Amino acid sequence: MSSDRIGFIGLGNMGRPMATSLVTKGFAVTAYDIVQTSAQILAQRGAKAAASVSEVVAQSDVVVTMLPNTPDVDGIVAEVLRSGRKGQMHMDMSTIDPMASKRFAAALAAKGIGWVDAGVGRSPAHAERGESLFMVGGTDADLARAMPLLEAMGNKVIRCGGPGAGITMKIVLNFLAMSTCQLTAEALTLGTKLGLTARTMYDVITNSMGNNDHLKVYWPTKVLAGDIDPGFAIDLAYKDLSIGVTTANAAGVPVFTGAAARECLGQARTAQGLGGKDITAVLVAAANNAGVKPPKL
């Protein structure tokens, strides 16, 4: 286990269980979230609750961030650049703009501060069990330093390349995953409209080449059980897919299907007010558009 003192910023659905894994496996963790009760929950589990980002930076050797969007991470990087010290490291697990991640890495490197971007795969339930997948980018030395933390929080670590490569892979993954969710919603809605039951469709699709893990593993615990409370909200899915489409456009890569899926998520979050609901609520949006009730198992 690393002797580094860990500062963990961002204790939401994914950050809280991952920070808990670090605490329970013996890491010294200082935790912070803008929602103070979240840090207090970590304190009850053995972490130290910090009152500010600057306190985390001052008391940590490795600063870990798990935040909603690029501007949130930008703010933490600014504080690390302002008050951090040579020899520290920042590991970001947020889903952000890959170009921003590369920019942060370069700025921190100029001050002798390391950077690892560690995109997170799988669900909050996997994070609770310490079974997250990490897609990582960074230098050899920084990745070696990050490995004990990653292995404490997950059971699969895939190196994708240098700084920025991990989050680039995460954007590609979520581009596919969020687009697949939209297609799954439309397929189940079509079958419902044509008189098929959810059970029939589920059994056929999950035992065929049309299968995907979102439908097979996650959807039965959420929308297909009538639960659309957010594990991963449509607002975040829309953000991730938007980053993917924007990145593709900048690279000159046509992404017609992904762009259409992004527009569908946009309609679900605005016109239907489902932005704060779980990504599986795209089935509710599709069913509403078709004038049928969302199917359930």
Mark whether 111 is an active-site residue: no
Mean per-residue pLDDT, 225-230: 97
- Burial of 47: CB neighbours in 10 Å, binned 0-12, 13-18, 19+: buried
- 145 near 62, Cβ under 8 Å? yes
Same domain, 155 and 184: no
pLDDT at residue 123 in the model: 85
> Do 150 and 191 belong to one domain?
no
- Model pLDDT, residue 162: 97
Query: Which of the listed residues 143, 162, 181 is the one where a domain comes to its end?
Result: 162
Q: Which candidate, 140, 121, 119, places its Cα nearest to that of 213?
A: 121
- Give yes or no: residues 41 and 186 share one domain: no
Show which of 162, 182, 214 is a domain's final residue. 162
pLDDT single digits (tens) 115-154:
999 999 988 888 999 999 999 999 999 999 999 999 999 9
Using one digit for the tens of pLDDT, what is the confidence trace for 1-26?
Answer: 678 999 999 999 999 999 999 999 99
CATH number at residue 132: 3.40.50.720
Residues 142 and 177 in one domain: no
**CA–CA separation, 223 and 295 (whole Å):** 9
Residue 254 falls inside a structural domain: yes
Q: Average per-residue pLDDT in the chain? A: 96
Same domain flag for 152 and 189? no
Helical spans, DSSP H, in the chain: 15-24, 36-44, 53-58, 70-83, 98-109, 124-128, 140-153, 165-193, 198-205, 213, 234-251, 256-270, 282-290
Domain interval for residue 286: 169-290
Say if 1 falls within a structural domain: no
Task: Name the catalytic one among 48, 170, 239, 277.
Answer: 170
Residue 178 and residue 158 in one domain: no
Can you tell me the distance from the alpha carbon of 189 to that of 198, in angstroms, rounded to the nearest whole number?
Answer: 9
Residue 176: phi and psi, rounded to 5, are -70, -45
Q: Are strands 29-32 and 48-49 parallel, antiparallel or unpaired?
A: parallel
Whether residues 75 and 196 share a domain: the answer is no
Shared domain check, 148 and 175:
no
Is it the case that residue 219 has pLDDT exceeding 90?
yes
Instruction: Determine contact, residues 120/240, Cβ cutoff 8 Å.
Output: no
- List pLDDT tens digits, range 192-214: 999 999 999 999 999 999 999 99
pTM: 0.93
Shared-domain flag, residues 158 and 15 = yes
Is residue 297 assigned to a domain?
no
Check whether 111 has a pLDDT greater than 80: yes
**In angstroms, rounded to a whole number, what is the distance separating the alpha carbons of residues 274 and 228?**
9
For position 197, which CATH number holds? Answer: 1.10.1040.10
With respect to residue 229, please indicate whether it lies within any of the assigned structural domains: yes
Domain count, the chain: 2
Q: Which of 147, 162, 177 is the last residue of a domain?
A: 162
Q: Do 153 and 27 reside in the same domain of the chain? A: yes
Burial class of residue 289 in the structure, from the number of CB atoms within 10 Å of its CB (0-12 exposed, 13-18 middle, 19+ buried) = middle
Residues 110 and 180 in one domain: no
pLDDT score at 124? 87
136 token code pair: 């990582």
User: What is the rounded distance in angstroms from the CA atom of residue 148 to the CA atom of residue 209?
Assistant: 37
Q: Flag whether 126 is in a domain.
A: yes
Question: Is residue 207 within 8 Å of 225, Cβ to Cβ?
Answer: no
Same domain, 115 and 231: no
Instruction: Give residue 80's pLDDT.
Output: 98
